[in-house]
Amino acid sequence: MVAHFHHPLARKLAAGFGAFVLADLIVGLTAFSVISLATLWYFSLSWIRLAQLSEVHHLAFGSSWQLTLAGIGACVALPLLAATVLLAIRAASLPRRAYELGR
């Protein structure tokens, strides 16, 4: 059985709650993605720096494929981080649209 909202206040409240949930979802997913990508970028740069320092002091550290993966991670994470922030800024208007659609 589907509930129908006949009262205008009930429709506004339901639309407001829906918009709030959508905004919370957007912020949460953006925060998780930004933190994960920034961590990957920092870890990759740190791995490259450690490899350079170990080479200067003639110490063995990691292997060449690990250094290659760190370089790929550092190059890929930064554009993805920028794309994530850009998409989050664009998605910020969705809760208002959802609210206006639900009213």
| pLDDT (0 to 100) of residue 5 | 57
How many beta carbons lie within 10 A of that of residue 33, not counting itself? Answer: 17
Q: What's the predicted TM-score (pTM) here?
A: 0.78
> Using CA atoms, how far apart are residues 36 and 48, in angstroms rounded to an integer?
18
Cβ-contact 94, 26 below 8 angstroms: yes
| pLDDT (0 to 100) of residue 3 | 60
| pLDDT (0 to 100) of residue 2 | 57
- Per-residue pLDDT for the chain (103 aa), expressed as one digit of tens each? 556 657 778 888 888 899 999 999 999 999 999 999 999 999 999 999 999 999 999 998 888 999 999 999 999 999 999 999 999 999 999 999 888 887 7
